[in-house]
Structure 1
Amino acid sequence: MRPGAALALVSLASLALLGLAPAPLPARMADTGGGTQLITAQAPATASTTGTVTWWDLRGGEWSATGSAPTRFGAGGLVEGTARTQGTNTTPAGLYDLPFAFGNAPAPAGTRAEYRAVTPAAWWCQDNDSASYNRWTDPLPADCRATESEHLSDHPTQYAHALAIGFNYDRPVRGRGAGIFLHVNGEGATAGCVSVPGDAMRRLLRWADPARAPHIAIGTESGGTGITRY
């Protein structure tokens, strides 16, 4: 959904000159997806592989932070989602929905999102030649090569719990990338996903409410203005 659309902000420096305290980050964004829940994933710069995830609630017309955690991004840093190339280990900046949750472990108590249990037959198809490109498949279809896809049960720690990120999902563009998730930390930077500690991932699953249309905005800090175009 709308990569980059969420990321134009009022400058904090301008607010400081006016003697005003900055509004919460979502209130300074051009687009938050239209719901009342938002996750922001901020990196200091496009080359960064670490940053901060914050989840926000809109109540009574005011955004407030509900929780935050350190996060990891792709080993290749961040790039505008519409310019991303598959296989570059970059995290796509932009605003995306969160179609469903999944995991090798049972859903945390209180999870309201659709939760798909990972079985030994569950894959994420990343084969550009497949009709199932950038889709969860269980089992792997005949036209999707296993060598070009991700066997979800092979990652019991990182995919203990996860949220699928709607990057390149509604109308997949071949070669742009597949299988971008918000998931549990592994040993280091990701292959393009956003990752957080396991406890934070469980908290996020208990927090996310599909009835409130949660989205995730991925971007960088720049000159103190919070999330910017990348």
Structure 2
Amino acid sequence: MKPLLSLLLLATLLLVPSPALATSAADTVTLDGVTVRVRPGTEQVVTVNHTKGHHARVTFWSRSGQRWEKRFAAGDGRIGYGGLVRAKRRVQGSGRTPLGTFRMPWAFGMHHQKDAWDPSYRKVRTGDYWVLDNQSDHYNRYRNKQQGGFRWRLPASDPNGSERLQDYPVQYEWAVTTSFNSNQVKQRGGAIFLHVNGSGATAGCVSAPRWFLKRLMRRLDQDRKPVIAIGR
């Protein structure tokens, strides 16, 4: 092969983008400009790249061998009306979305379980709440009012009001929980999910178009230890 042709071929190969390399358990990887802290065994990632205002690009990735490959993405993702904030500085009621990488331990929604969905899925039933009562031992937990232990009668407008999940049939048609504030620090807030888009910004969650969540539900697999990484 002639030297000039060899140089042109090399330059072409260098310009062709390739999927991100997978990392070791202790490393991080950058996907779509977002830094992801990879858990041991993690093979699925959702990245949230803030673009402008309360908008973000939300992308689903999976690991294939030693590389991370983009499976699908939505340009019309949303974040909180209060913008982004470091996770440890978040305050309940601020409307801010926490930055960082969080586990996605299970999902819930308005539909009955489907065979194609991960068994961790839970259908919302009458009386199900996400507890945001700072006086409750069940703070930032899924709980039914019949179980007691929180002031479920408080209105949503109250600083200690919890979320009655059936009040959000559009947004919570499908929702994937995150591990944000899993240690239940009071006044930090909770109920930070990846859910279906509403009419505008979220109150701190990440949301994506309905088609994105519907497609994601068929792919999330707790055996692959999925995480969500939220960046600027």
- Structure 1 length-normalised TM: 0.81
**Are 1:94 and 1:218, in contact at CA under 8 Å, matched by a contact in 2?**
yes
Taking the TM superposition and a 5 Å limit, the aligned residue runs for 1:9-20 are none
Mapped pair 1:44 → 2:47: no
**How far off its partner does 1:32 sit?**
2.2
Counterpart position of 1:191: 203
Counterpart position of 1:218: 230
Kindly, what percent of the aligned residue pairs are identical? 38
Taking the TM superposition and a 5 Å limit, the aligned residue runs for 1:3-42 are 24=20, 27-28=29-30, 29=35, 31-34=37-40, 35-42=42-49
Structure 1, unaligned runs of 5 or more: 1-17, 221-230
Counterpart position of 2:180: 167
Moved over 6 A (4+): none
**How far off its partner does 1:142 sit?**
3.3
Between Structure 1 and Structure 2, whose CA radius of gyration is higher? 2
The structure carrying a bigger strand percent of its residues is 2
Q: CA RMSD in A?
A: 2.1
Counterpart position of 2:145: 139
**How far off its partner does 1:201 sit?**
0.5
Q: Per-residue displacement from partner, 1:16-39 (whole Å, max 9, x unpaired)?
A: xx9895863973346222301111
Mapped partners of 1:164, 1:27: distance in 2: 22
- Of the three residues 45, 56, 61, the one matched with 2:66 is 61
Aligned partner of 1:214: which letter?
P
Q: How many pairs align?
A: 200
Structure 2, unaligned runs of 5 or more: 1-13, 22-27, 155-160
- Of the three residues 132, 141, 146, the one matched with 1:126 is 132
- Higher relative contact order, chain-length normalized (CA < 8 Å, sep 6+): 1
